């Protein structure tokens, strides 16, 4: 039997409540125990019945508009329980189970939930103010939607496959402290985490979508379980503070430097220009590494080894693709400047610049030959004027210094990516 408690008329409500209690006390007292339970009209305040300082062990009721103050719920199974418009203040839930429950517009204030299970339940438009969840090893497949959270502590709990979602974007920050807890397969969607802190937590396959994260949200003592990285979308990265690189690496498996800058560019629908990469085959290891990094960031590139088609004349491929791509990224080195093929590409690119009346060169250098070479050193002599004009054009443009990264296996990943993002800025 499930008794529904609703407040309509005071006398009718109290009579129904008393009848229900009397029924269970007389008929099923061996199955259910209700202790220290009494009610009178003086306890009815407006549309709420105030139940004060009681220890309650009762069956599965569905009730609305009840107010519980300093009540202790022990070993209560709230299975298939429906609650609306209630208030739990300074209450304790000990060894309880919330299974397949639906709770709406209900306030939980200064409550302690200990050694309890919450499974396959819904909390909608509720308020959680200064509550503590401790030793709850099964908070599972539960939806928290459109709720308000302030100063809540989740200590030594396991939160698995739950969904935290704000229904209105731009809500106030949700205040949680997750401590010494496991967070697995849980999604935070349109959820402001600027006041939330994860400390000493084990993360696995969580999803952060359109969230806002502060510097202190993830403390450095968080870990990822067995490389089961969590996912974070570009909107979250763009909206958030700069997340510590070790957290990006350990929790999300992101090794890119300054990923926030990239995320802002991508989420603002900034089109990145396409790039023809001009380089010497003697520098192909560096060229391939740079090409891979650019492609990971959404840049459309042409690299001879990967993109040149067969069955066409070499110079035709060069000139056609220089005209097709927006910019020419020239990897300047002694090898490339002395290369007849690279000089042919520079000459074609310079002609395109003159025709368009705009700069299309993006030079970078992996040695200083571009700047130390003198005109009278150029060979062959019949190409000296052409090659010198190419070099002068390159020297007029700020060239990023990649010298320390020429030997691929000695590069510093973070510094390399920082320079790549400077290239990205030039392509917006």
- Give me the mean pLDDT over the 3-30 stretch: 49
Cβ 236 vs Cβ 208: under 8 Å: yes
| 12 or 406: which leads in pLDDT | 406
pLDDT of 359 higher than 90: yes
- Give me the mean pLDDT over the 326-353 stretch: 96
Mean pLDDT value across the chain? 82
Lowest mean pLDDT among 154-163, 235-244, 250-259, 321-330: 250-259
Q: In what order do the strands lie in the sheet with 327-332?
A: 301-302, 275-278, 327-332, 361-365, 400-401
Lowest mean pLDDT among 40-54, 66-80, 97-111: 40-54
Chain centroid to CA 188: 8
Q: In what order do the strands lie in the sheet with 158-160?
A: 77-79, 97-99, 117-119, 138-140, 158-160, 182-184, 202-204, 223-224
pLDDT of 137 higher than 80: yes
Residue 270 confidence (pLDDT): 57
Residues in the chain: 428
Closest CA to 257 of 405, 42, 75: 405
Predicted confidence band of residue 157 (pLDDT cuts 50, 70, 90): very high
| 32 or 123: which leads in pLDDT | 123
Tell me the C-alpha to C-alpha distance, in Å, between residue 85 and each of 45, 297, 358: 14, 49, 66
Chain centroid to CA 258: 15
Predicted confidence band of residue 399 (pLDDT cuts 50, 70, 90): very high
Residue 426 confidence (pLDDT): 85
Cβ 133 vs Cβ 111: under 8 Å: no
Residue 29 confidence (pLDDT): 43
pLDDT of 40 higher than 60: no
Lowest mean pLDDT among 107-121, 156-170, 212-226, 253-267: 253-267
Predicted confidence band of residue 367 (pLDDT cuts 50, 70, 90): very high
Domains of the chain from N-terminus onward: 55-262 (2.160.20), 271-426 (3.40.50.10140)
Residue 305 confidence (pLDDT): 87
Q: 81-121, pLDDT tens digit by residue?
A: 888 888 899 989 999 899 999 999 999 999 999 999 999 99
pLDDT of 283 higher than 90: yes
Residue 30 confidence (pLDDT): 43
0.85 surpassed by pTM: no
Residues in CB range of 8: below 8 A, 6 or more apart: none
What backbone torsions phi and psi does residue 330 show, to the nearest 5 degrees? -100, 120
Buried b (16+ CB within 10 A) or exposed e, 98-137: bbebebbebbbbebbbeebbbbebbbbebbbbebbbbebe
Q: Give the H or E element holding residue 274.
A: none
Q: What percent of the chain has pLDDT over 70?
A: 79
- Give me the mean pLDDT over the 118-128 stretch: 93
- Give me the mean pLDDT over the 344-373 stretch: 95
- Give me the mean pLDDT over the 407-413 stretch: 70
- CB burial class (10 A; 0-12, 13-18, 19+) of residue 20? buried
Predicted confidence band of residue 415 (pLDDT cuts 50, 70, 90): confident
Predicted confidence band of residue 354 (pLDDT cuts 50, 70, 90): very high
- How far apart CA 389 and CA 126 sit, in angstroms, is 71
pLDDT of 134 higher than 90: yes
Predicted confidence band of residue 389 (pLDDT cuts 50, 70, 90): very high
Predicted confidence band of residue 50 (pLDDT cuts 50, 70, 90): low
Residue 166 confidence (pLDDT): 76
Residue 417 confidence (pLDDT): 79
- How far apart CA 187 and CA 232 sit, in angstroms, is 10
Residue 26 confidence (pLDDT): 54
Q: What percent of the chain has pLDDT over 90?
A: 46
| 226 or 265: which leads in pLDDT | 226
| 422 or 176: which leads in pLDDT | 176
């Amino acid at each position: 039997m499930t008794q529904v408690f609703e407040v309509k008329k005071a006398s009718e409500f109290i009579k129904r409540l008393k009848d229900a209690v009397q029924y269970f006390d007389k008929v099923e007292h061996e199955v259910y125990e209700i202790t220290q339970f009494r009610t009178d009209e003086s306890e009815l305040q407006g549309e709420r019945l105030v139940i004060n300082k009681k220890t309650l062990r009762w069956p599965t009721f569905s009730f609305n508009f009840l107010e519980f103050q300093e009540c202790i719920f022990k070993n209560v199974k709230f299975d298939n329980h429906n609650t609306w418009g209630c208030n739990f203040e300074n209450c304790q839930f000990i060894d309880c189970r919330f299974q397949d429950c639906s709770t709406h517009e209900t306030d939980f204030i200064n409550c302690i939930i200990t050694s309890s299970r919450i499974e396959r339940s819904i909390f909608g438009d509720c308020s959680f103010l200064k509550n503590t969840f401790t030793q709850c090893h099964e908070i599972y497949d539960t939806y928290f939607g459109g709720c308000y959270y302030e100063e809540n502590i989740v200590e030594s709990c396991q939160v698995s496959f739950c969904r935290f979602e704000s229904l209105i974007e731009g809500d106030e920050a949700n205040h949680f402290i997750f401590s010494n807890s496991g967070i697995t397969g849980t999604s935070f969607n349109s959820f402001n985490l600027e006041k939330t802190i994860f400390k000493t937590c084990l993360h696995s396959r969580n999803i952060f979508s359109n969230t806002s994260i502060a510097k202190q949200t993830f403390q450095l003592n968080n870990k990822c379980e067995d490389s089961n990285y969590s996912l974070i979308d570009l909107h979250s990265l763009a909206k958030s503070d700069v997340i510590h690189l070790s957290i990006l690496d350990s929790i999300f498996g992101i090794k890119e430097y300054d990923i926030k800058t990239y995320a802002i560019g991508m989420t603002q629908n900034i089109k990145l220009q396409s790039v023809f990469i001009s380089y010497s085959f003697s520098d192909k290891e560096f060229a391939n590494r740079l090409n891979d990094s650019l492609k990971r960031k959404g840049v459309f590139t042409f690299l001879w080894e990967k993109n040149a088609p067969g069955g066409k004349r070499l110079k035709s491929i060069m000139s056609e693709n220089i005209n097709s791509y927006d910019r020419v990224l020239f990897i300047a080195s002694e090898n490339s400047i002395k290369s007849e093929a690279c000089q042919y590409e520079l000459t074609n690119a310079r002609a395109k610049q003159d025709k368009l009346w705009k700069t299309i060169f993006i030079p970078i250098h992996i040695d200083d030959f571009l700047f130390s070479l003198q005109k009278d050193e150029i060979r062959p002599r019949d190409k000296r004027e052409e090659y010198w004009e190419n070099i002068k054009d390159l020297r007029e443009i700020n060239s990023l210094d990649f010298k320390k990264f020429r030997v691929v296996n000695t590069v510093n990943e973070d510094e390399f990516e920082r320079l790549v993002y400077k290239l990205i800025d030039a392509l917006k």
